[in-house]
Structure 1
């Protein structure tokens, strides 16, 4: 079951993941960029223990061999990193694998490669990413979701990229499965209240599905 709220970690990863789990996040992605698997492994082991304690699913960004070693729930591969198919070859069939996408073509490739979900973005400009793909905005999600519907393709779409609490209702109206956030939780003074509010907003079904 793919959660509708994904928390993406920022340095310092262990502290931020502990705080996010403590605030109620049930799906955590450890996102460490441009490091060797040896450097990522101890952090992954530490955060896996935290996630287990809080019964949260841990997804490792970019390092399938680390995900297998620590028995994480899954892997997420970036747009410029390895393909979902290549990650799947390392993890086997049972692991959750997500892929980053910016266009309908990206999503279709991930679906073909056997992705469990797709992270689609960016919704708006974000400083978290170095190589930012074209901004999608609400209209971008509407057209992508509409195209998937017409092709009868069902895959959980997770919106990502500078999303604010007030953006959530409009995004959910497009038919996305959920959202991925980083700074909104990392920088919140009352993390628990923010997480609770996000979950409540995500529960509100879009008007077209009533």
Structure 2
């Protein structure tokens, strides 16, 4: 089951990725993606091993960004791959068939590609400009999501699609109405004044929209 809320780790001003992950877990996040850039693999592995321990303690799932070998060594639940990373089919051979693998997409054609590659879910974005990601793909906005999700439905594609990229809590109700499965956030929780309250509000927005659809 792919959670509706994905927390993407980022280094806060007063700590490390692990500091941010622990705070997100304490706030109630259940799907944690460890996304560490420009660090040695040995450092990322240390983060992943500790993050997996933290996730197990809180009953959450750990997803490792970019590194299939690290996902395997850490015993992570899943792996997330960007468009420029290793192909999903190739990456799946490293940790095995049981691991969940998500793939990034920016267009409907990318979604078709990811489905063909065997992705379990898709991170579609960016919704708006974000400093979290370098080499940002074209911004989609609400209209972009509407157009792409309409094509997805018309093509009979059934895969969880997670909106990502600069999303704030008050954006979520409108984004969910486009037909996405859920959202991924980073700064909205990392920099929240009250991370627990913010996480609860986000889940409320996600679940209220889901109830309206049902």
Q: Residue 137 of structure 2 corresponds to which residue in structure 1?
A: 133
Q: Output the TM-score relative to the length of structure 1.
A: 0.97
* CA RMSD, 1 decimal: 1.2
Aligned match of 1:56 in 36, 53, 60?
Answer: 60
5+ residue gaps, structure 2, are none
Which secondary structure state, in structure 2, belongs to the residue aligned with residue 204 of structure 1? helix
Instruction: Note the C-alpha offset of 1:154.
Output: 0.3
5+ residue gaps, structure 1, are none
For residues 128-207 of structure 1, the aligned pairs below 5 Å read: 128-205=132-209
Which secondary structure state, in structure 2, belongs to the residue aligned with residue 25 of structure 1? coil
After superposition, give the CA deviation of every residue in 1:62-103 in whole Å (9 maximum; x if it has no partner).
Answer: 011111111100000112211212211212211000011101
> d(CA) in 1 for partners of 2:167 and 2:134?
17
Instruction: Note the C-alpha offset of 1:206.
Output: 5.6
- In the alignment, is the contact (CA less than 8 A) between 1:173 and 1:208 conserved in 2? no
Aligned match of 1:209 in 191, 205, 213?
Answer: 213
Instruction: Note the C-alpha offset of 1:35.
Output: 3.0
Instruction: Note the C-alpha offset of 1:34.
Output: 3.0
> d(CA) in 1 for partners of 2:77 and 2:129?
29
Aligned match of 1:24 in 28, 49, 52?
Answer: 28
Q: Residue 4 of structure 1 corresponds to which residue in structure 2?
A: 4
Q: Which runs of 4+ in 1 moved over 6 A?
A: none
After superposition, give the CA deviation of every residue in 1:163-195 in whole Å (9 maximum; x if it has no partner).
Answer: 111111111101100000000000011000000
